[in-house]
């Protein structure tokens, strides 16, 4: 049985308990060469804390006797660097700092955390320290100064590890608007974060701090502290470290093979499981070199595989609750003036979002740009882990797209909440969609969409009103990862259907239908009709309009190709339903179903 370290980022515990550890120690020599002070950014739950724990155990003088036990069979154990077990290690974790209260309260929360870390440091290294570290309860920066001076006289260098450096500051910024002032008080001018990092910078320049390694999610806070801490090397976009955190395809194959053998499943089930993991959890690339492989989110993989190993079936809920907080990041962008349009464009699978480069200089002076410039919004979504680098456009710009279906679900849910703010409407919609999954009868669902859903679109100035708008509406209505996956581009022979819902392998025993839908949008102005005239028509009268008939024929011809491809792949023609849908503005929907094969 594999012991998955789900939620465990303690390297020592993982290595001594026999839990799974995916070796990343081959990167340690390169990290040493990269610089003395490093900044490494990755999305939440991507293994940053485990990386810092690995560094702490590798460099700590107090772990020297455990080196062979902890690292002996790892890459760096076979090829150690001269610096192993030569440092005293101080670690701060700013995710433990509360963002509640005014600036003075948050400052004290930060001081409490730093002072507590210093107390623990003094206890661990009391045998090596030649003097007591003085603790200042209301001035942890003075406590830190006392620590570095005491360490310097011990004869050992200090390695400072800072985890989630931007956590509480980002929480302050992304709350309600008035908190932008508190954020500015924390990070700018003589704010406490800027002052703290100035102290780190000064002590490092004087040789009192030997190495610094900082992790976080985005460069936003670092941008605001530039003059306070402008000496670090940013390695978060270096292709050399693309795979420093995350799970590779080869590693996942080995794990799935082991579990499938344990569960006595047929060998062909391995490919099915890997495909499920790929579409739901893969897709992250953290550099602009397309030759670098994409990696999987480790927390999500361990969530899935732990359940799979225990029960020999996939979990019903694909989205681990640990990622629910990422929805707040999407909501933050969605609530900006152009946010809804940006998110709708992101959801268009056929057209990747392209920007000249990733913006990394955010800062308060750029806050207006962040609120109005799609390039800034898209860049921040990349750092949040809900977009990833997927290619380059014809002029060399970066293309970014949603990495996988789990993240797509977060976008879809945000659009749904924005369009249908009333919980009762969302519950009604959920019930209607569930019926549609079993019957493919669009009538009840369409009646609701025309009455409730499309009314929102009519009341907005959506410059992007087109087939994408209709597709996005149906995607938000029908996306349900408990039952479905979206079929891959390759399966449709590199031709895109507008919306393809394929029942998940572990759910195909139930009365659920596979669906493929093609959408067409006809502007009312092109039809020489008003919304009132269309709503006064019967659905059959709308269907009889020549332009609508032509659009239905075009959609049906496209569906015939998709229909055969999906039948050839899944061999269940009786389960497949193909629907052509035409929207007349946002006032009327008509549809036809292809005859079954």
Q: Which of 264, 260, 262 is nearest to 276 (CA)?
A: 260
Residues 21 and 132 both lie in one domain: yes
CATH number of the domain encompassing residue 143: 3.40.50.300
Residue 2 lies in a domain: no
Contact 430, 417 (CB under 8 A): no
Give me the pLDDT at residue 103, please: 83
Q: Which of 195, 220, 219, 223 is nearest to 110 (CA)?
A: 195
d(CA 509, CA 572): 12
Give me the pLDDT at residue 334, please: 84
Contact 172, 186 (CB under 8 A): yes
Residues 187 and 223 both lie in one domain: yes
Q: Tokens 């760096």 — which residue?
A: 76
Residue 129 lies in a domain: yes
Contact 207, 153 (CB under 8 A): no
Residue 163 lies in a domain: yes
Give me the pLDDT at residue 337, please: 81
Sheet holding 499-503, edge to edge: 484-486, 499-503, 514-522, 576-584, 588-593
36's CB contacts (< 8 A; 6+ apart) are: 204, 210, 211, 212
Q: Can you tell me whether residue 272 is helix, strand or coil?
A: helix
Rounded to 10 deg, the angle between the 192-205 and 103-124 helix axes is 30
Residue 5 lies in a domain: no
Give me the pLDDT at residue 124, please: 97
Residues 115 and 262 both lie in one domain: no
Give me the pLDDT at residue 506, please: 86
d(CA 597, CA 594): 9
Residues 477 and 385 both lie in one domain: no
Residue 20, classified by CB atoms within 10 Å of its CB into exposed (0-12), middle (13-18) or buried (19+), is: middle
Q: Tokens 């989110």 — which residue?
A: 297
Contact 174, 328 (CB under 8 A): yes
Residues 334 and 453 both lie in one domain: no
Number of domains in the chain: 4
Residues 311 and 332 both lie in one domain: no
Residues 46 and 106 both lie in one domain: yes
Tell me whether strands 211-216 and 158-163 are parallel, antiparallel or unpaired.
Answer: parallel
Report the residue count for the chain.
Answer: 597
Q: Which residues of the chain have pLDDT under 50?
A: 176, 178, 460-464, 488-491, 493-494
**Half-sphere exposure (CA, 13 Å, Cβ side) for 45?**
21
- Find the domain containing 274 and state its range: 249-283+293-318
Residues 141 and 25 both lie in one domain: yes
Q: Tokens 């780190």 — which residue?
A: 200
Residue 154, classified by CB atoms within 10 Å of its CB into exposed (0-12), middle (13-18) or buried (19+), is: middle
Give me the pLDDT at residue 335, please: 83
Residues 235 and 278 both lie in one domain: no
Residue 1 lies in a domain: no
DSSP 319: S
Residue 3 lies in a domain: no
Residue 90 lies in a domain: yes
DSSP 83-146: TTT-BEEEEEEGGGS---S-HHHHHHHHHHHHHHHHHHHHHHTTTT-SSPPPP-TT-HHHHHHH
Residues 331 and 279 both lie in one domain: no
Residues 32 and 129 both lie in one domain: yes
Residues 136 and 255 both lie in one domain: no
Question: For the chain, how are helix, strand and coil distributed in percent, rounded to 5?
Answer: 50, 15, 35
Residue 53 lies in a domain: yes
Give me the pLDDT at residue 406, please: 87
Contact 418, 340 (CB under 8 A): yes
pTM of the model: 0.88
Q: Can you tell me whether residue 153 is helix, strand or coil?
A: coil
Give me the pLDDT at residue 363, please: 61
Q: Can you tell me whether residue 377 is helix, strand or coil?
A: helix
Choose the final residue of a domain: 223, 241, 259.
241
């Amino acid at each position: 049985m594999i012991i998955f370290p789900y939620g465990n980022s303690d390297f020592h515990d993982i290595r001594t308990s026999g839990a799974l550890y995916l070796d990343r120690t081959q990167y340690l020599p390169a990290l040493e060469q990269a610089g003395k002070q490093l900044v490494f950014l990755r999305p939440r739950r991507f293994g940053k804390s485990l990386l810092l724990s690995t560094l702490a155990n590798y460099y700590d003088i107090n772990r020297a006797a455990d080196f062979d036990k902890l690292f002996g069979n790892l890459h760096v154990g076979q090829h150690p660097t001269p610096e192993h077990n030569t440092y005293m290690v101080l670690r701060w974790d700013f995710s433990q700092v509360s963002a509640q209260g005014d600036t003075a309260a948050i400052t004290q929360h930060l001081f409490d955390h730093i002072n507590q870390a210093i107390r623990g440091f003094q206890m661990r290294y009391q045998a090596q320290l030649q003097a007591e570290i003085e603790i200042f309860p209301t001035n942890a920066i003075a406590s830190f100064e006392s620590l570095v001076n005491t360490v310097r006289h011990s004869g050992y260098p200090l390695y400072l590890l800072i985890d989630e450096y931007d956590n509480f500051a980002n929480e302050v910024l992304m709350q309600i608007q008035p908190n932008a002032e508190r954020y500015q008080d924390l990070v700018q001018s003589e704010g406490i974060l800027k002052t703290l990092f100035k102290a780190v910078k000064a002590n490092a320049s004087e040789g009192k701090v030997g190495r610094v390694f900082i992790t976080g999610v985005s460069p936003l806070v670092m941008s605001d502290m530039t003059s306070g801490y402008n000496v670090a090397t940013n390695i978060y976009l270096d292709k050399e470290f693309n795979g420093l955190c995350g799970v590779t395809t080869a590693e996942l194959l080995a794990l799935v093979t082991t579990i499938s053998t344990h569960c006595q499943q047929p060998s062909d089930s391995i490919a099915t499981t890997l495909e499920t993991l790929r579409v739901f959890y893969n897709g992250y690339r953290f550099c602009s070199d397309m030759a670098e492989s994409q990696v999987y989110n480790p927390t999500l993989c361990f969530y899935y595989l732990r359940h799979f190993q225990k029960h020999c079936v996939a979990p019903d809920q694909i989205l681990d609750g640990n990622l629910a907080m990422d929805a707040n990041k999407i909501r933050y962008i969605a609530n900006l003036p152009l946010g809804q349009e940006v998110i709708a464009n992101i959801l268009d699978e056929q057209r990747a979002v392209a920007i000249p480069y990733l913006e990394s200089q955010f800062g308060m002076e750029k806050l207006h740009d962040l609120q109005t410039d799609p390039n800034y919004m898209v860049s921040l979504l990349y750092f949040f882990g809900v977009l990833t680098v997927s290619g380059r456009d014809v002029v060399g710009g970066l293309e970014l797209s949603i990495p996988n279906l789990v993240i797509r679900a977060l976008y879809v849910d945000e659009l749904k909440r924005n369009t249908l703010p009333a919980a009762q409407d969302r519950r009604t919609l959920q019930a209607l969609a569930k019926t549609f999954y079993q019957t493919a009868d669009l009538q009840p669902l369409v009646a609701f969409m025309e009455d409730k859903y499309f009314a929102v679109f009519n009341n907005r100035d959506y410059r992007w009103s087109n087939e994408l708008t209709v597709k996005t509406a149906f995607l938000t209505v029908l996306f349900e990862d408990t039952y479905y996956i979206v079929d891959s581009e390759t399966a449709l022979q590199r031709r895109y259907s507008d919306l393809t819902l394929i029942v998940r392998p572990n759910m195909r025993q139930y009365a659920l239908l596979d669906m493929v839908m093609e959408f067409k949008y006809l502007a009312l102005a092109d039809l020489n009709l008003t919304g009132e005239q269309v709503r006064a028509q019967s659905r059959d009268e709308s269907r009889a309009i020549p332009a609508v008939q032509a659009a239905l024929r075009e959609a049906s011809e496209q569906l015939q190709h998709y229909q055969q491809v999906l039948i050839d792949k899944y061999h269940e023609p009786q389960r497949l339903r193909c629907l052509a849908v035409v929207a007349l503005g946002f006032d009327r929907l008509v549809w036809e179903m292809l005859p079954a094969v």
